[in-house]
Copies of this chain bind each other. A is one copy, B any other.
Amino acid sequence: MSEPTARRRGRPPRTESAGTRDRILAAAREEFSERGYEKTSVRGIAKAAGVDSALVHHYFGTKEQVFEAAVEVAFAPALNAPNTLAEGPLDGVGERLTRFVFGVWENPTTRTPLLAILRSAVNNETAAAVFRRLVAAQLLRRIAAQLDLPDAELRAELAAAQVVGTAMMRYVIKLEPLASVDLELIIARVAPVVQGHLTRP
Protein backbone atom coordinates (compact mmCIF):
# COMPACT_ATOMS: atom_id res chain seq x y z
CA MET A 1 0.00 0.00 0.00
CA SER A 2 2.84 2.43 0.68
CA GLU A 3 4.18 2.37 -2.88
CA PRO A 4 1.12 2.05 -5.10
CA THR A 5 2.52 3.93 -8.09
CA ALA A 6 5.87 4.37 -9.76
CA ARG A 7 5.60 7.98 -10.96
CA ARG A 8 6.56 10.38 -8.22
CA ARG A 9 7.71 13.94 -7.94
CA GLY A 10 10.79 14.96 -6.01
CA ARG A 11 9.96 14.11 -2.42
CA PRO A 12 10.94 14.70 1.20
CA PRO A 13 12.83 12.15 3.31
CA ARG A 14 11.29 8.71 3.25
CA THR A 15 9.98 8.08 6.77
CA GLU A 16 7.91 11.25 7.05
CA SER A 17 6.72 11.25 3.43
CA ALA A 18 5.14 7.78 3.27
CA GLY A 19 2.71 8.63 6.06
CA THR A 20 1.85 12.03 4.63
CA ARG A 21 1.36 10.76 1.08
CA ASP A 22 -0.90 7.96 2.30
CA ARG A 23 -2.88 10.39 4.39
CA ILE A 24 -3.36 12.72 1.42
CA LEU A 25 -4.34 9.79 -0.81
CA ALA A 26 -6.85 8.51 1.75
CA ALA A 27 -8.34 12.00 2.07
CA ALA A 28 -8.49 12.32 -1.72
CA ARG A 29 -10.26 8.98 -2.06
CA GLU A 30 -12.76 10.05 0.57
CA GLU A 31 -13.38 13.47 -0.99
CA PHE A 32 -13.72 12.18 -4.55
CA SER A 33 -16.04 9.39 -3.34
CA GLU A 34 -18.28 11.75 -1.45
CA ARG A 35 -18.37 14.74 -3.76
CA GLY A 36 -17.42 13.43 -7.17
CA TYR A 37 -14.65 14.82 -9.33
CA GLU A 38 -16.11 18.22 -10.11
CA LYS A 39 -17.00 19.28 -6.60
CA THR A 40 -13.70 18.12 -5.08
CA SER A 41 -10.88 20.65 -4.74
CA VAL A 42 -7.18 20.24 -3.92
CA ARG A 43 -7.78 22.67 -1.09
CA GLY A 44 -10.55 20.44 0.32
CA ILE A 45 -8.32 17.37 0.09
CA ALA A 46 -5.50 19.21 1.84
CA LYS A 47 -7.83 20.35 4.60
CA ALA A 48 -9.18 16.80 5.13
CA ALA A 49 -5.62 15.47 5.29
CA GLY A 50 -4.52 18.25 7.66
CA VAL A 51 -1.79 19.54 5.36
CA ASP A 52 -1.17 22.60 3.21
CA SER A 53 -2.49 22.62 -0.39
CA ALA A 54 1.07 23.19 -1.57
CA LEU A 55 2.05 19.80 -0.17
CA VAL A 56 -0.71 18.08 -2.17
CA HIS A 57 0.58 19.79 -5.32
CA HIS A 58 4.13 18.84 -4.35
CA TYR A 59 3.36 15.15 -4.08
CA PHE A 60 0.82 14.74 -6.88
CA GLY A 61 0.59 17.83 -9.09
CA THR A 62 -2.82 18.91 -10.42
CA LYS A 63 -6.27 17.81 -9.23
CA GLU A 64 -6.42 15.44 -12.21
CA GLN A 65 -3.16 13.86 -11.07
CA VAL A 66 -4.39 13.47 -7.49
CA PHE A 67 -7.51 11.81 -8.89
CA GLU A 68 -5.45 9.48 -11.06
CA ALA A 69 -3.28 8.49 -8.09
CA ALA A 70 -6.36 7.87 -5.92
CA VAL A 71 -7.98 5.80 -8.66
CA GLU A 72 -4.78 3.88 -9.23
CA VAL A 73 -4.72 2.82 -5.58
CA ALA A 74 -8.36 1.76 -5.78
CA PHE A 75 -7.64 -0.17 -8.96
CA ALA A 76 -4.37 -1.66 -7.72
CA PRO A 77 -5.73 -5.19 -7.13
CA ALA A 78 -7.58 -5.09 -10.45
CA LEU A 79 -4.57 -3.78 -12.30
CA ASN A 80 -2.49 -6.66 -11.04
CA ALA A 81 -5.22 -9.20 -11.68
CA PRO A 82 -5.03 -9.73 -15.47
CA ASN A 83 -1.65 -11.41 -15.15
CA THR A 84 -3.01 -14.15 -12.96
CA LEU A 85 -6.60 -14.12 -14.22
CA ALA A 86 -5.71 -14.71 -17.82
CA GLU A 87 -3.34 -17.50 -16.86
CA GLY A 88 -4.84 -20.95 -16.67
CA PRO A 89 -7.13 -22.59 -19.21
CA LEU A 90 -8.71 -20.11 -21.64
CA ASP A 91 -12.13 -21.74 -21.38
CA GLY A 92 -12.36 -20.69 -17.74
CA VAL A 93 -11.31 -17.07 -18.23
CA GLY A 94 -14.91 -15.79 -18.44
CA GLU A 95 -15.82 -17.17 -15.06
CA ARG A 96 -12.53 -16.13 -13.42
CA LEU A 97 -12.88 -12.53 -14.63
CA THR A 98 -16.58 -12.31 -13.72
CA ARG A 99 -15.99 -13.72 -10.23
CA PHE A 100 -13.11 -11.37 -9.68
CA VAL A 101 -14.98 -8.20 -10.72
CA PHE A 102 -18.13 -8.99 -8.75
CA GLY A 103 -15.96 -9.89 -5.76
CA VAL A 104 -14.60 -6.35 -5.85
CA TRP A 105 -18.13 -4.89 -6.19
CA GLU A 106 -19.62 -7.01 -3.40
CA ASN A 107 -17.01 -5.78 -0.92
CA PRO A 108 -18.15 -2.39 0.48
CA THR A 109 -14.54 -1.25 1.04
CA THR A 110 -13.59 -1.69 -2.60
CA ARG A 111 -17.03 -0.74 -3.92
CA THR A 112 -16.90 2.85 -2.65
CA PRO A 113 -13.89 4.00 -4.71
CA LEU A 114 -15.22 2.12 -7.77
CA LEU A 115 -18.52 3.93 -7.45
CA ALA A 116 -16.71 7.23 -7.15
CA ILE A 117 -14.73 6.53 -10.30
CA LEU A 118 -17.79 5.46 -12.26
CA ARG A 119 -19.82 8.47 -11.12
CA SER A 120 -17.02 10.89 -11.89
CA ALA A 121 -16.25 9.32 -15.27
CA VAL A 122 -19.90 9.53 -16.33
CA ASN A 123 -20.08 13.20 -15.39
CA ASN A 124 -16.75 14.72 -16.20
CA GLU A 125 -14.55 14.46 -19.27
CA THR A 126 -11.28 14.76 -17.31
CA ALA A 127 -12.34 11.92 -15.02
CA ALA A 128 -13.45 9.91 -18.07
CA ALA A 129 -9.97 10.38 -19.53
CA VAL A 130 -8.41 8.97 -16.34
CA PHE A 131 -10.83 6.03 -16.51
CA ARG A 132 -9.87 5.44 -20.15
CA ARG A 133 -6.14 5.51 -19.42
CA LEU A 134 -6.32 3.21 -16.40
CA VAL A 135 -9.07 0.81 -17.37
CA ALA A 136 -8.52 0.69 -21.11
CA ALA A 137 -4.77 0.92 -21.34
CA GLN A 138 -3.83 -1.04 -18.26
CA LEU A 139 -6.65 -3.45 -17.51
CA LEU A 140 -8.44 -4.32 -20.75
CA ARG A 141 -5.40 -4.16 -22.97
CA ARG A 142 -3.56 -6.58 -20.74
CA ILE A 143 -6.43 -9.01 -20.92
CA ALA A 144 -6.62 -8.51 -24.68
CA ALA A 145 -2.88 -9.13 -25.05
CA GLN A 146 -3.34 -12.65 -23.76
CA LEU A 147 -6.14 -13.51 -26.18
CA ASP A 148 -4.00 -13.33 -29.30
CA LEU A 149 -6.91 -12.39 -31.62
CA PRO A 150 -7.01 -9.47 -34.08
CA ASP A 151 -10.06 -7.85 -32.47
CA ALA A 152 -9.02 -8.69 -28.91
CA GLU A 153 -9.44 -5.14 -27.59
CA LEU A 154 -12.99 -4.82 -28.85
CA ARG A 155 -13.75 -8.24 -27.36
CA ALA A 156 -12.39 -7.20 -23.97
CA GLU A 157 -14.45 -3.99 -24.09
CA LEU A 158 -17.70 -5.77 -24.94
CA ALA A 159 -17.06 -8.23 -22.12
CA ALA A 160 -16.38 -5.32 -19.77
CA ALA A 161 -19.61 -3.65 -20.96
CA GLN A 162 -21.67 -6.64 -19.82
CA VAL A 163 -19.94 -6.74 -16.44
CA VAL A 164 -19.94 -2.97 -15.80
CA GLY A 165 -23.54 -2.65 -17.05
CA THR A 166 -24.66 -5.44 -14.71
CA ALA A 167 -22.76 -3.94 -11.77
CA MET A 168 -24.34 -0.55 -12.48
CA MET A 169 -27.87 -1.98 -12.59
CA ARG A 170 -27.29 -4.04 -9.42
CA TYR A 171 -25.27 -1.70 -7.19
CA VAL A 172 -26.01 1.82 -8.46
CA ILE A 173 -29.48 1.90 -10.03
CA LYS A 174 -30.60 -1.07 -7.90
CA LEU A 175 -33.05 -2.52 -10.40
CA GLU A 176 -35.08 -5.40 -8.99
CA PRO A 177 -34.83 -8.38 -9.15
CA LEU A 178 -31.19 -7.92 -10.30
CA ALA A 179 -30.22 -6.03 -7.13
CA SER A 180 -31.36 -8.79 -4.78
CA VAL A 181 -30.77 -12.11 -6.53
CA ASP A 182 -27.97 -14.36 -5.34
CA LEU A 183 -24.60 -13.45 -6.80
CA GLU A 184 -24.06 -17.01 -8.03
CA LEU A 185 -27.12 -16.70 -10.27
CA ILE A 186 -25.66 -13.57 -11.84
CA ILE A 187 -22.27 -15.18 -12.31
CA ALA A 188 -23.94 -18.18 -13.96
CA ARG A 189 -25.55 -15.86 -16.53
CA VAL A 190 -22.76 -13.32 -17.03
CA ALA A 191 -19.68 -15.58 -17.11
CA PRO A 192 -20.70 -17.39 -20.34
CA VAL A 193 -21.30 -14.01 -21.99
CA VAL A 194 -17.85 -12.76 -20.96
CA GLN A 195 -16.35 -16.04 -22.17
CA GLY A 196 -18.22 -15.74 -25.48
CA HIS A 197 -17.09 -12.17 -26.11
CA LEU A 198 -13.48 -13.07 -25.34
CA THR A 199 -13.02 -16.37 -27.13
CA ARG A 200 -15.89 -17.26 -29.50
CA PRO A 201 -14.56 -17.45 -33.08
Q: Which residue numbers of A lie inside 8 Å of B, CB to CB?
A: 36, 118-119, 121-123, 128, 131-132, 135-136, 140, 153-154, 157-158, 160-166, 168-169, 172-178, 181, 185-186, 189-190, 192-193, 196-197
Contact = CB atoms under 8 A, between A and B. Distances in A.
A131 B172 CA distance: 11
A180 to B, nearest CB: 10
Given A122-B168, A174-B132, A161 B158 contact: no
A154 B172 contact: no
The 5 A-B residue pairs with the shortest CB-CB distance, nearest first, are A165-B165, A161-B165, A161-B166, A157-B178, A162-B162
Contacts of A157: 169, 175, 177-178
B172 A128 contact: yes
Contacts of A178: 154, 157-158, 161
A74 to B, nearest CB: 16
B177 A166 contact: no
B160 A193 contact: no
Contact of A174 (B128, B140, B161, B197): B128
Contacts of A192: 196
A57 to B, nearest CB: 28
B164 A168 contact: yes
A174 B160 CA distance: 13
A82 to B, nearest CB: 16
Contacts of A132: 173-176
A118 B196 CA distance: 27
A175 B128 CA distance: 9
Contacts of A169: 157, 160-161, 164
Contacts of A165: 160-166, 168
A190 B200 CA distance: 13
